[in-house]
Structure 1
Amino acid sequence: MDIRQSIQRQVYATVHGAGLDPARYDRPDGDPGLFGPDSVVWLVHGDIPGMFTGGIAALLLQSLHPLAMAGVDQHSRYREDPIDRLNRTAGFVTVTSYGSTAEAEAAIERVRRVHDHVRGVAPDGRRYDAADPELLRWVHVAETACFLAGYQRYARTPLTPGQQDRYVAEYARVAEALGATGVPRSVAEVRAYLREVRPQLAAGEAALTAVEFLRTPGALVQDPARGLVMRVLVAGAVDLLPHWAVVELRLPRPTALRTSRDRAAVRALSRVLRYGCEPSVVITTARARALRPAAAPAGTPRPPRG
């Protein structure tokens, strides 16, 4: 196995576990899925460094909502098996982004069924329900903002303002299918929503514990090399957060030297990840599926021979 294959194998195993099956993205012919090859979602979600840092940043930001964090703390096994949660989250984003329409809709329905059982009482006495449209909106907006921030920071070519708005509008489709309401459709609406919801956000004990867990690579991976990679990605994720979130989560305050060092480390890692994982097996397979002519329905008369 050469170096490129080794990098790809380790990345796929960490992110997808045994759940990555390229065949899920290969049929039916002519099916663009929820978004299609010309979408901005395909562009943003195909950038590994941006998605890694943005995904971790989203987990950090999401932890600031006491009700969302209560659901994770009381119904998730992230401490016992953090990689499994990463696998499930990455699998959902991948299949809803690049899978066939049927595969994407089936993944959404599975998550909706899980949400039906995630409810309880937060430490502050308030009841929560993972199917609550407002909670779904919060989780989605945090993901959208952080995925976009990761792409803008580490992609080879950042999106234009118009493309950024397109991304937000396109990706809202998944949140709405899950049951979210009032989902922002532009970057300006994302910013307005974050300003609106900020007074409700606070870092409780569960959030601070989760943050410390993420910042301790040994809790996630045992291999020293992977531990180093995690430290680089977590530092890059913290750098994507708004200043008020960094303060609330009691993370180290950024300095010019720290910021410069962390960004350089992520960019160096990005070159390694791109070398090993591009072109993406999933995106290549999905693109071929979408661009192949759709099969004619059974019983369709053949065109006459000229």
Structure 2
Amino acid sequence: MFDDPSIISLPKPLQHRIDSFARSLLQPARAFDFSTPPCEPALVSPESVSWRIFKNPVSVFIGGVAAVLLEFGESRVRDGVWQHSSFRTDPLTRLQRTGLAAMITIYGPRSKAEAMIAGVVRRHDRVTGQTREGEPYHANDPVLLDWVQATAGFGFTEAYHAYVRHLTEDDRRSLFAESAPIARLYGAVGAPASRQELDLLFEAMKPRLAASSIIFELLAIMTRTLILPAPVRPMQKVMLKAAVEILPLWVRERLGLEGQWALNPVERALVRTMAEASDRLVLPSSPAVQSCRRLGLPDDYLYRS
């Protein structure tokens, strides 16, 4: 099918099954067509590092979990999500919607991505309340928005770097530059614009990060929710452990994520094998491939060595 030896070619029936499963993960209610309208650009260029990173479903899943764990270390973010979302009652749909939003942000046509983000901002404006400790929160608080954007960038970047392919300093600088306009659309006008600024934000947030029973409830829900197909479902908890492992050591210690949440060498090798293979497998229904088609690019554009 493809001439590049770096691309994995599978028997058509198996390729179709994997493609169908990957598509189902991003369809919480209705299909989103990334292939239209023809030629409309995304918020991020197809030549970007972001387009190459977000095409990998394994590292995106791991990075997304890592980001949520970091977010939930902050009580205002944690209680805001827990009190105003359906995660406890319908976790799969919540995960699907979150994953789809990330794909639209990176790959969707600009007009639809901007409309989606504006809708998120409007919904978040209604999310207010108090933490269990009585501290007020507002989802559109710029401080919290900056933290959420920073943790997302950290999670996706570190997951790809740890389990797929080494990212250079130039790659990392590009990722910060690519994410800045998107962060502003979400209202995160002070989100870190460099690795140094990210380190400073982590240091500033350190006193606020703390363990919570909600974090362990979140991990328990994600362990038992039927996310992966039956043949690879034992890897589900392993992938959660992979997300924990990319967190800074001091974060793991502060949140109590040690012991059973540490990868052993065999598990680490399995995660890396899955993630590296996912980076070489062209899935025709994926947002990345569909978006390439929208822009007149070949299906394997993002997969060429």
Query: Do they fold alike, i.e. is TM over 0.5?
Result: yes
CA deviations on 1:212-263 (whole Å, 9 max, x unpaired) are 333xx2244596435313112112111111112212222234899x442222
8 Å contact from structure 1 (residues 218, 227) kept in 2: no
2:269 alignment partner, one of 261, 264, 270: 264
- Matched with 2:100 is 91
Tell me if 1:200 matches 2:208: yes
Task: Normalising by structure 2, report the TM-score.
Answer: 0.85
Cα distance in 1 between the residues matched to 2:289 and 2:152? 24
The worse-fitting range, judged by mean Cα deviation, of 91-100 and 272-281 is: 272-281
Alignment size in residue pairs: 286
Q: Which residue of 2 aligns with 1:2?
A: 13
* Within-5 A mapping of 1:6-17: 6-17=17-28
Superposed, which structure 2 residues align to 1:62-101 within 5 Å? 62-101=71-110
2:44 matched residue in structure 1: 35
Q: 2:160 matched to which residue of 1?
A: 151
* Letter matched to residue 12 of structure 1: R
Match of 2:287 among 257, 277, 282: 282
2:234 counterpart residue number: 228
For residue 51 of structure 1, give the secondary structure of its aligned residue in structure 2.
helix
Contact 2:91 2:221 in 1 (8 A): no
Aligned to 1:166: 174
Q: Measured at CA, do residues 93 and 221 of structure 1 come closer, stay the same or move farther in structure 2, by a change above 3 Å?
A: closer
Amino acid at match of 2:17: S
Q: Distance in 2 between matches of 1:238 and 1:15?
A: 23
Task: State the identity as a percent.
Answer: 30
Q: Normalising to structure 1: TM-score of the pair?
A: 0.85
Q: Which range moved further: 263-272 or 55-64?
A: 263-272
- 2:117 counterpart of 1:117: no
The equivalent of 1:301 in structure 2 is: none
Q: CA deviation at 1:87?
A: 0.9
Q: How far off is 1:269 after superposition?
A: 2.6
Q: How many angstroms does 1:168 deviate by? A: 1.6
Alpha-carbon distance in 1 for matches of 2:227, 2:109? 32
Q: 1:128 aligns with which of 125, 137, 149?
A: 137
* Alignment check: 8 A CA contact 1:32 1:101 kept: yes
What SS is found at the alignment partner of 2:295?
helix
CA distance in 1 between partners of 2:171 and 2:260 (Å): 29
Partners of 1:54 and 1:17 lie apart in 2 by: 20
SS in 2 for 1:190: helix
C-alpha change, 1:267 and 1:20, in structure 2 (3 Å) is farther
Which residue of structure 2 lines up, in the alignment, with residue 58 of structure 1?
A: 67
Letter of the 1:261 counterpart: V
> Cα offset for 1:35?
0.9
Distance 1:275 1:241, change over 3 A: same
Q: Is the 8 A contact 1:57 1:237 kept in 2?
A: yes
Distance in 1 separating the partners of 2:38 and 2:281: 28
1:208–1:249: 8 Å Cα contact kept in structure 2? no
Aligned mates of 1:232, 1:15 — CA distance in 2 = 21
Displacement of 1:270 in angstroms is 2.8
**How far 1:274 moved relative to its partner?**
5.0
1:26 equivalent in alignment to 2:36? yes
Residue of structure 1 aligned with 2:221, choices 213, 217, 238: 213
- Residue 150 of structure 1: how far off its partner (Å): 0.6
Query: How far, CA to CA, are the matches of 2:31 and 2:241 in structure 1?
Result: 27
Equivalent residues of 1:24, 1:103 under 8 A apart = no
C-alpha separation in 2, matches of 1:213 and 1:27 = 37
Paired position in structure 1 for 2:150: 141
Alpha-carbon displacement from aligned partner over 1:113-167 (angstroms, at most 9, x marks no partner): 2102211011111110101111111111111001000111122x42210111110
Tell me which structure has the larger Cα radius of gyration: 1
Structure 1 position 49, deviation (Å) = 2.1
